């Protein structure tokens, strides 16, 4: 055989191996499995995942089979949006993202597309939330544009407009890694460390105290930090507003989906249906003693139910043992009969689906227990401000919140992802302004102006032209007044700058 023939064979072998390694990564079904497959892929193909500016292009060159081309086409289309200036809009900007939930990861993707160096730290190493989020039409379009179908074949099949939190995280982790984001699991953010007065061996910029303490991320210096660590945000300096409604007790329940024909036939109960159907709730109460204000059912990886239950019916059915005024005491584990709770949620699910689901066996949660949870959401929180700027020894730090840390969602409507992604884009837009050297007061004033729109957004009042969507807020909010908060309303404190 000629040496060119042998070289050709070797080349084919290498292509096939690269394709297989990439496929293993794409198909990985756990967080740890994904990170492991990614690390093998990088090692075998001699790619440097820390070289964030070149990583995506190097990976594309190394894995070029037809099967993968459709994904590259999609990601290229996104990356070529003008707003990113060919991955150079934020060159040199370093960002730390706290939390690898959907919103932290979605923000990471935008920041890496802008050319930032992005490091995500996530305190856990499993994605185990079966609960399901409602997707607005724009989020479906957005995720498809990032290759959702490639990572998760069942993504929004037919008319389905929801996804389990863990599938969403898994998909976004994969896209993030492909685009050069550095992700560290089992790393917990503790607090910000101010730059030292004098330059020292450990550096001279803003850093983070993390657990475990010797981890290399503790040496990472950054210019931007994003709090995406869920409702209990750990970043200092943000005041929280509380919205207190009447007592609201929610229950979530997940049952095993065996994907049988019988299960496939059962109709979902969508997030908007409940208010219109008083008859349903009266019959439910009469037949079972269960008294609900609403119920939602999504058929996803699991059969997922979320409902708001009235306290008296929980007492009557023995789910809550003693009646207390303080909700914390009322719902404390020693005042809840777990068996009765399992029966209550199962009975509601059974009635809600007209007894058509053949077997309602609970799925198993993170703790190895039947996946049911009951909690109080009488109060919902929102941060008063979306961002602030800190300055110490001549080093400025842009601090921002996204996702649940910024604005808690109403679970029965599952708004956490849709509003969360809007905030992720708005934050990326702010980082772009920051990198361009816009004045801090202008940046914060604009960010706060845009943040005021967020709690009011609905699928109906945001722009319908999804094809045009980018991090530029003008592409998404039709009636945007990006200067309703003026720079003079934002106060420069000695160390902190935020809205007064
Ligand atoms: P999250 O998804 O909460 O992600 C925050 C991430 O930060 C987590 O992965 C967490 O481990 C990590 N983290 C926290 N602290 C630190 C730290 N100090 N250092 C590093 N990492 C940290 N919404 C609904 O609409 N319906 C539901 O049924 C529903 N169920 C939920 C169940 C649970 C258990 C939780 C926690 C949330 C649920 N939500 C639900 C909310 C929904 O998950 C969020 O709205 C959505 O995922 C977007 O949130 P996020 O990315 O901002 O935050």
Would you place residue 494 in the very low, low, confident or very high pLDDT band (cuts 50, 70, 90)? Answer: very low
What's the token pair of residue 353?
A: 């689906």
CA of 416 to the centre of ligand 1 (A): 9
Per-residue pLDDT at 274: 57
Residue 279 exposed, middle or buried by CB count within 10 Å (0-12, 13-18, 19+): exposed
Per-residue pLDDT at 379: 84
CA of 351 to the centre of ligand 1 (A): 29
Please report, to the nearest 10 degrees, the dihedral formed by the alpha carbons of residues 378, 409, 306, 296 taken in order.
120
HSE-CB at 125 with a 13 A cutoff on CA atoms is: 9
Compute the mean pLDDT over every residue in the chain, rounded to the nearest whole number.
Answer: 92
Residues contacting ligand 1 via CB (< 6 Å): 98-104, 121-124, 129, 131, 133, 165, 188-189, 228-230, 234, 252, 306, 403-405, 409, 411, 414, 416-417, 420
Helices 165-178 and 31-44, packing angle to 10 deg: 20
CA of 95 to the centre of ligand 1 (A): 20
**Nearest alpha carbon, ligand 1 atom 41:** 416
CA of 228 to the centre of ligand 1 (A): 9
Is 80 exceeded by the pLDDT of residue 203? no
Three-state DSSP class for residue 343: helix
Among 373, 415, 416, 418, which is best to mutate for testing ligand 1, by the most ligand atoms less than 8 A from CB?
416
Give per-residue pLDDT as tens, 258-299. Answer: 999 999 999 998 865 555 578 899 999 999 999 999 899 999
* Domain positions in the chain: 1-80, 83-240+380-500, 246-377
CA 353 from chain centre, in angstroms, equals 29
Query: What is the position in ligand 1's atom list of the atom closest to the CA of 415?
Result: 25
What letters, b where the CB count within 10 A reaches 16 and e where it falls short, cover 186-215?
Answer: ebbbeebbbbeeeeeeeebbbbbebeeeee
DSSP one-letter code for 53: T
What's the token pair of residue 257?
A: 């989906």
* Strand 490-492 to 372-376 pairing: unpaired
Is 50 exceeded by the pLDDT of residue 495? no
Instruction: Pick 7 or 449 by higher pLDDT.
Output: 449
Q: Of 85, 78, 194, which Cα lies nearest the Cα of 433?
A: 85
**Nearest alpha carbon, ligand 1 atom 18:** 189
CB contact at 8 A, 21 and 2: no
- Complex ipTM: 0.98
When pLDDT is averaged across residues 116-137 and rounded to a whole number, the result is: 96
User: Domain 83-240+380-500 belongs to what topology?
Assistant: FAD/NAD(P)-binding domain (3.50.50)
When pLDDT is averaged across residues 44-50 and rounded to a whole number, the result is: 96
Three-state DSSP class for residue 225: strand
* Strand 240-244 to 302-309 pairing: unpaired
Per-residue pLDDT at 201: 59
As a whole-number percent, the residues of the chain with pLDDT over 70 amount to: 94
What's the token pair of residue 324?
A: 């207390």
Angle of CA points 384, 242, 298, to nearest 5°: 105
């Amino acid at each position: 055989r000629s040496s060119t023939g042998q070289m050709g064979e070797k080349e084919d072998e290498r292509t096939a191996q690269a394709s297989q390694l990439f496929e293993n990564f794409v198909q990985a079904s756990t967080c740890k499995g994904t990170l492991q497959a990614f690390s093998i892929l990088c090692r075998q193909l001699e790619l440097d995942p820390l070289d964030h500016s070149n990583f995506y292009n190097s990976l594309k060159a190394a894995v070029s089979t037809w099967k993968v081309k459709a994904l590259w086409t999609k990601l290229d289309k996104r990356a070529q949006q003008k707003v990113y200036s060919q991955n150079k809009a934020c060159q040199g900007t370093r960002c730390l993202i706290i939390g690898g939930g959907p919103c932290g990861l979605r923000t990471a993707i935008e920041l890496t597309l802008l050319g930032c160096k992005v490091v995500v730290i996530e305190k856990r190493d499993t994605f185990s939330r079966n609960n399901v989020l409602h997707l607005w039409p724009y989020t479906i379009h957005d995720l498809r544009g990032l290759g959702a179908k490639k990572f998760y074949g069942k993504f929004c099949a037919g008319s389905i407009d929801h996804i389990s939190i863990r599938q969403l995280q898994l998909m976004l982790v994969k896209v993030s890694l492909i685009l050069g984001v550095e992700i560290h699991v089992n790393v917990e953010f503790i607090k910000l460390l101010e730059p030292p007065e004098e330059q020292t061996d450990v550096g001279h910029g803003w850093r983070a105290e993390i657990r475990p303490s010797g981890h290399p991320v503790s040496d990472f210096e950054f210019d931007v930090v994003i709090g995406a660590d869920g409702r209990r945000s750990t970043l200092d300096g943000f005041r929280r507003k509380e919205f207190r409604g009447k007592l609201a007790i929610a229950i979530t329940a997940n049952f095993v989906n065996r994907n049988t024909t019988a299960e496939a036939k059962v109709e979902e109960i969508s997030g908007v249906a409940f208010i219109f159907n008083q008859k349903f709730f009266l019959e439910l109460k009469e037949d079972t003693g269960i008294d609900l204000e609403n119920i939602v059912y999504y058929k996803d990886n699991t059969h997922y139910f979320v409902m708001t239950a009235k306290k008296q019916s929980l007492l009557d059915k023995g789910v809550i043992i003693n009646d207390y005024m303080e909700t914390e005491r009322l719902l404390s584990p020693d005042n809840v009969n777990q068996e009765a709770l399992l029966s209550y949620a199962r009975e509601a699910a059974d009635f809600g689906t007209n007894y058509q689901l053949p077997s309602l066996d609970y799925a198993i949660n993170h703790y190895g227990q039947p996946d049911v949870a009951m909690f109080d959401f009488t109060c919902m929180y929102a941060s008063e401000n979306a961002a602030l700027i800190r300055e110490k020894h001549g080093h400025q730090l842009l601090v921002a919140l996204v996702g649940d840390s910024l604005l808690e969602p109403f679970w029965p409507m599952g708004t956490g992802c849709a509003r969360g992604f809007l905030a992720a884009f708005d934050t990326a837009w702010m980082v772009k302004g920051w990198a361009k050297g816009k004045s801090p007061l202008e940046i914060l004033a604009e960010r706060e102006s845009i943040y005021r729109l967020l709690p009011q957004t609905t699928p109906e009042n945001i722009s319908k032209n999804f094809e045009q969507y980018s991090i530029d807020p003008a592409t998404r909010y039709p009636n945007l007044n990006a200067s309703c908060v003026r720079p003079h309303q934002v106060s420069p404190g000695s160390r902190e700058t935020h809205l007064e």
